[in-house]
Amino acid sequence: MNFDFETEIILENPRVLLHPIQEDDFNNLLSVATSDPHLLQYSPKEIFTPELLKEYVETAIQLRKLHSRYTFSVFDKVRNEFAGSTSFLNISNPDARLEIGATWYGKQFQRTGLNRNCKFLLLQFAFENAGAERVELRTDERNTQSRLAIERIGGKLEGILRSHMVMHDGFRRNTVCYSILKPEWEELKMKFPFRNQM
């Protein structure tokens, strides 16, 4: 795999635009991030105050420089609004694998088809441009909405990492692990469940 952290990766279709997160995205994402203190209830990090969001954006930019994570801002082209963020993480070029995760959207963008459009673009890039053989998706065991969304796009359940991650409130979450393999992608992309929700 040849994932290049220096490249400005822009992913776009008629519904959504993903661009690498930058300092200006603090202002772009502020209203959606601070609209609900429980927006990231299943995430290790919170973003519901300006200070927390600023730290989130700065950390994301730094992690890209360290070749650890590649974070995008998500723009909903139908609503003409910034919707949230998503990332490539746990990237291993020698093993030809990466994870899609650290995804969050404002409540008004959830269950609208936006996420499926984002996932399609990210999976397409991972398999067809970066040369990934394996894409991983992980979520909190309690997050039934996220688990269902992963399963709907073809994620195969692999198992549960028990007491895997410490949450912002000190709770130790179990992490559910899914994957999609390159040989599965060709069939999945032809029936990807977003075509009627553009």
Burial classification of residue 191, based on how many CB atoms lie within 10 Å of its CB (0-12 exposed, 13-18 middle, 19 or more buried): exposed
Per-residue pLDDT at 196 exceeds 80:
no
Comparing CA positions, the residue from 184, 186, 188, 182 lying closest to residue 133 is 182
The total of structural domains in the chain comes to 1
pLDDT of residue 39: 83
DSSP H or E run through 121: helix 114-125
Full residue range of the structural domain in which residue 166 is found? 11-190
Q: Is residue 6 part of a domain?
A: no
The percent of residues in the chain predicted with pLDDT above 90, rounded, is 86
Give pLDDT tens digits for 152-164: 999 999 999 999 9
Q: Is residue 35 part of a domain?
A: yes
Per-residue pLDDT at 43 exceeds 90:
no
Q: Is residue 171 part of a domain?
A: yes
Give pLDDT tens digits for 28-42: 999 999 998 888 888
Residue 158: give its domain's CATH number. 3.40.630.30
Q: Is residue 119 part of a domain?
A: yes
